[in-house]
């Protein structure tokens, strides 16, 4: 198992994120369609917001803020 982890760790960050998402999905035994519909609706809302000109916040900024808050706790 450690060899597999080392191989995964060597992947680029984006590929590791994709792999993590796929692994989490594989653990979900039952899909709740209500949740899927809610996420689809939220994604559409956010895309419309971005299309209207709202400026997003870069992930690096959000991550730094979250990590800073966690360290303060």
d(CA 16, CA 8): 7
* Span 2-54, pLDDT tens digits: 899 999 999 999 999 999 999 988 887 677 778 889 999 999 999 999 999 99
Q: 8 Cβ partners below 8 Å, 6+ apart? A: 16, 19
Structure tokens at 39: 């996420």
d(CA 25, CA 30): 10
What rounded mean pLDDT belongs to the chain? 89
d(CA 51, CA 47): 6
* Span 49-73, pLDDT tens digits: 999 999 889 999 999 999 987 776 6
- Alpha helix (H) residue ranges in the chain: 2-9, 13-27, 33-51, 59-72
* pTM higher than 0.85: no
Domain coordinates of the chain in residue numbers?
1-30, 31-73
């Amino acid at each position: 198992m450690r060899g597999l982890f080392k191989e995964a760790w060597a992947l680029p960050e984006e590929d590791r994120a994709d792999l993590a998402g796929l692994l989490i999905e594989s653990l979900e035994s039952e899909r709740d369609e209500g949740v899927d519909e809610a996420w689809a609706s939220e994604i559409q809302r956010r895309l419309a917001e971005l299309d209207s000109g709202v400026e997003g916040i870069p992930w690096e900024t959000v991550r730094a803020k979250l990590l800073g808050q966690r360290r303060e706790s």
